[in-house]
Amino acid sequence: MAERTRPGGGTEVVVPRTKTEKETKRPPLYKVLLHNDDYTTQEFVDWVLVSVFNHDAETAHRIMLNVHMHGVGVAGIYPHEIAETKAMKTTELAREAEYPLLVTIEPE
C-alpha cells in the first residue's frame, strides 16, 4: 500500500491490484485397460502389472484376476502420454513373448 497526497490536502491510500495467477489445470486422465484372451498367461499379466505398471505382486494378481473374471481390467490411470507409453510398452512385451494381449486406453 502507498499513500498519496490529494490536491487540496488529505491523503488517500492506494492499494495496488495484484494479478491473480492462472490456475493450472490437471491434465485429463486415461485408463489403461487390459483385455482378457484365451492365450496370454496369468503369470505374464502379473509380470507386466509389476514391471510396467509398478504394482506390488498382490495388487497385480488382484488386477489380473479381475481381467480374467470380467474380461477387462484397469492396469492404471495416467495422463495421456504416460498411458499411451505404458500401453505401447505392454503390447511390445506381449508381442515379443508371442501373446495377443490387447491393451487399450480410454478417458477416465
pLDDT digits over 29-53, tens only? 999 999 999 999 999 999 999 999 9
- What tens digit of pLDDT does each residue of 8-24 get? 666 667 677 776 677 88
pLDDT in tens, 90-106: 999 999 999 999 999 99
- Please count the residues of the chain: 108
Which residue range(s) make up the domain with 97?
Answer: 27-107
Mean local confidence (pLDDT), 69-77: 97
| CATH code where residue 94 lies | 3.30.1390.10
pTM of the model: 0.77
The count of domains in the chain is 1
Residue 10 domain-assigned? no
98: in domain: yes
Q: How far apart are CA 6 and CA 18, in angstroms?
A: 23
Q: Is residue 62 part of a domain?
A: yes
Which has the closest alpha carbon to 68: 101, 22, 108?
A: 101
* β-pairing verdict for 11-14 and 102-107: unpaired
Considering the chain, what is the average pLDDT of its residues? 91
How far is the C-alpha of 105 from the C-alpha of 34, rounded, in Å?
9
Residue 77 lies in a domain: yes
At 90, the amino acid letter reads T
